[in-house]
Amino acid sequence: RVSLSLIPSQALGKYRYVEQEEQDVLLSALSALQDKAQHLEYNLSAETRIKLDLFSALGDTRRQLEITQGKVLKQDKEIGEMKRKIAEVMAVSPGMSFMTPRPAVPQYLTKFLNSERDVLNPLALMYQCLKK
């Protein structure tokens, strides 16, 4: 026979054993969750640093772009001003040509350059002057 006084003490011991197992499982889960939270916090911190670096680089690039655009606008204005000045000069002196002058060819070479039948022979040892 089992004594009735032992039943509550056995049930209490069994309950304590189950309660201890549940506590261990809960503590293990809590520890795992804390580790995971710490890992996520570290990753989030690293991500935040990267984002701050990227936004800083973006700001620098925007400033450089604004500076470059300002230079381009300034140069466009200068080009427009130069075109206007050239147009004024051309309007005032229509007879002037802004082409580069050709070098003058000496008279004795023009006849030689214009003739196609007189071709110099690179193998000739000597040439004689032609008399007119």
pLDDT of residue 21: 85
In a domain, 79, yes or no: yes
pLDDT tens digits, 25-82: 999 999 999 999 999 999 999 999 999 999 999 999 999 999 999 999 999 999 999 9
Domain count, the chain: 1
Which strand (E) or helix (H) includes residue 72? helix 6-92
In a domain, 71, yes or no: yes
pLDDT of residue 19: 80
In a domain, 25, yes or no: yes
Q: Give the Cα separation of 74 and 72 in Å (integer).
A: 5
Q: Give the Cα separation of 2 and 8 in Å (integer).
A: 11
Which domain covers residue 37, as residue numbers? 6-92
State pTM to two decimals.
0.43
In a domain, 74, yes or no: yes
pLDDT tens digits, 90-128: 888 866 555 555 556 566 656 555 554 555 666 666 656
